[in-house]
Amino acid sequence: MIHLDTHVVVWLYAGDLRRFSPAARRRLDREDLRISPMVALEVQYLHEVGRISEKADVVLSDLGRKLGLAQAEGDFSAVAAAAIDLGWTRDPFDRLIVAHAALSGATLLTKDRTIRRHFRQALWD
């Protein structure tokens, strides 16, 4: 199982596979794909501010059908508590997405260098 960061979900929906490293594409092909509920919220936020054209439910339903993408399980209280300790970022979405992956014992697929620098289970290449 691998958790996906928000930009990964957006790029997958757009079919923009050239953005992915060969190693990232291999992981996407062989792993069960999961997202934190915070990714769904961030995708909706991106739609609301005009950065993407589709609402979160459209994006996530499509990727669920095509790739088996599903929401990860987890106790939100525990995720929020773990996110409190992630002071290396001021982005609340990143804090919660990383905390959820950490509590799930999952790898997080992200191109975000800051996340990869601070979260050992994050990868891209």
Supply the pTM of this predicted model.
Answer: 0.96
| 25-28: long-range contacts, CB 8 A cutoff, minimum separation 24 | 27/2, 27/107, 27/109, 27/123, 28/2, 28/67, 28/109
Task: For 6-31, write each residue's pLDDT tens digit.
Answer: 999 999 999 999 999 999 999 999 99
What pLDDT does residue 125 have?
A: 83
What is the tally of structural domains in the chain? 1
Task: For 65-79, write each residue's pLDDT tens digit.
Answer: 999 999 999 999 999
Residue 10's domain spans which residues?
Answer: 2-123
Cα–Cα distance for residue pair 67/10, rounded to 1 Å: 13
CATH number, residue 24: 3.40.50.1010
2 in Cβ contact with 27 (< 8 Å): yes
